[in-house]
């Protein structure tokens, strides 16, 4: 079966069915990544209901808000998630000693050292990767399908790629899901503390990320997660 046919089958299934199909196909060779912010909760909730054994990678850059770490721990506890905390190989203290506030001078390099490299190393242990991206978030994400083959041959499954922002919040409200503690303070999207601010821009939920910089992605879904045909 070619990728187009596989995507046709996946696209006709519910999100829970997509997760189960991916688990059946790849079993112990599949993981998920999550940034544990409010928008991550619907997919984490569905994973907990359908495939709680799934390894969920959290990139612990050392720059997170304390609220993010607390929210991660709350969700691990409430949903009994199988979370793997991944850090940069050199350790955060060494990174700070060697690079200082690199996020001010070269955020791309900072993301590369703290996110892309450690994630690539972790993902190399698996054949497939589940990501909670939506097509309406960025142009890059709009080009993704439910099932994607990446440049390195890994399969990236995006079970909510066709959810809209409205779908996500409707699901969140209907299921009375918890929110990141900073959400009520205007943080629609939460990344590392030095690179995230509150934003009132309802039209762009990622407006508070790398604000004032043309950067819109950390590299996880562009460099590592690049589709073979992109
Ligand atoms: S989001 Fe900011 S602090 Fe975090 S790794 Fe990227 S540049 Fe560094």
- Give pLDDT, residue 162: 97
Task: List CB contacts of 227: < 8 A, sequence separation 6 or more.
Answer: 143, 144, 148, 149, 150, 151, 156
What tokens appear for 138 in the block? 């960025």
User: Is 190 close to ligand 1, i.e. is its CB under 6 Å away?
Assistant: no
Task: Please give the Cα distance from 55 to 75 (Å, whole number).
Answer: 14
What's the pLDDT at 27?
85
Q: Is 218 a catalytic residue?
A: yes
- In whole angstroms, give the CA distance from residue 55 to residue 50: 13
For ligand 1, whether the C-beta of 210 sits within 6 Å is: no
Mutate to test the pocket of ligand 1, among 92, 116, 191, 222 (most ligand atoms within 8 A of CB): 191
Protein residue closest via CA to atom 4 of ligand 1: 192
Q: Write down the pLDDT at residue 144.
A: 93
108 CA: nearest ligand 1 atom: 7
Atom of ligand 1 nearest to the CA of 63: 3
Domain ranges of the chain: 3-224
CB 114 within 8 A of CB 193: no
Work out which ligand 1 atom sits closest to the CA atom of 114. 5
Say if CB 38 and CB 180 are below 8 A apart.
yes
Q: Whose CA is nearest to atom 5 of ligand 1?
A: 111
The CATH number of the structural domain formed by 3-224 is 3.40.50.620
What is the model's pLDDT at position 229? 61
pLDDT at 123: 95
Q: Does the beta carbon of 194 sit less than 6 angstroms from any atom of ligand 1?
A: yes
| pLDDT tens, residue by residue, 206-228 | 666 656 566 566 666 666 656 66
What tokens appear for 50 in the block? 């359908």
| 114 DSSP assignment | I
Give the distance from CA 146 to its chain's centroid.
15
Cβ 128 vs Cβ 25: under 8 Å: yes
Spell out the per-residue pLDDT of the chain, length 230, in tens. 899 999 999 999 999 999 999 999 998 899 999 999 999 999 999 999 999 999 999 999 999 999 999 999 999 999 999 999 999 889 999 999 999 999 988 988 999 999 999 999 999 999 999 999 999 988 888 989 999 999 889 999 999 999 999 999 999 999 999 999 999 998 888 999 998 888 766 666 666 665 656 656 666 666 665 666 65
DSSP letters, 143-154, are T--SEEEBTTS-
Residues in contact with 123: Cβ distance below 8 Å, sequence separation at least 6, in sequence order: 31, 57, 129, 154, 224
- Enter the tokens of residue 27: 């079993």
């Amino acid at each position: 079966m070619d990728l187009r046919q596989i995507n046709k089958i996946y696209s006709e299934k519910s999100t829970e069915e997509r997760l189960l199909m991916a688990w059946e196909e790849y079993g112990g060779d599949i993981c998920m990544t999550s940034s544990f912010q409010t928008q991550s909760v619907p997919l984490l909730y569905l994973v907990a209901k359908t495939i709680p054994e799934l390894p969920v990678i959290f990139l612990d850059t050392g720059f997170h808000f304390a609220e993010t770490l607390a929210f991660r721990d709350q969700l691990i506890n409430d949903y009994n998630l199988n979370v793997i905390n991944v850090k940069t190989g050199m350790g955060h203290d060494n990174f700070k000693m060697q690079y200082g506030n690199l996020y001010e001078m070269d955020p791309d390099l900072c993301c590369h050292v703290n996110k892309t490299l450690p994630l690539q190393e972790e993902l190399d242990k698996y054949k497939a990767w589940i990501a909670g991206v939506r097509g309406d978030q960025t142009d890059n994400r709009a080009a993704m399908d439910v099932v994607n083959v990446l440049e390195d041959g890994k399969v990236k499954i995006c079970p909510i790629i066709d959810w809209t922002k409205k779908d996500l919040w409707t699901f969140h409200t209907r299921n009375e899901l918890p929110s990141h503690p900073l959400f009520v303070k205007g943080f629609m999207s939460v990344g590392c503390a030095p690179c995230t601010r509150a934003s009132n821009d309802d039209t762009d939920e990622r407006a508070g990320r790398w604000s004032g910089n043309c950067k819109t992605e950390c590299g996880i879904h562009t460099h590592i997660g690049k589709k073979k045909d992109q």
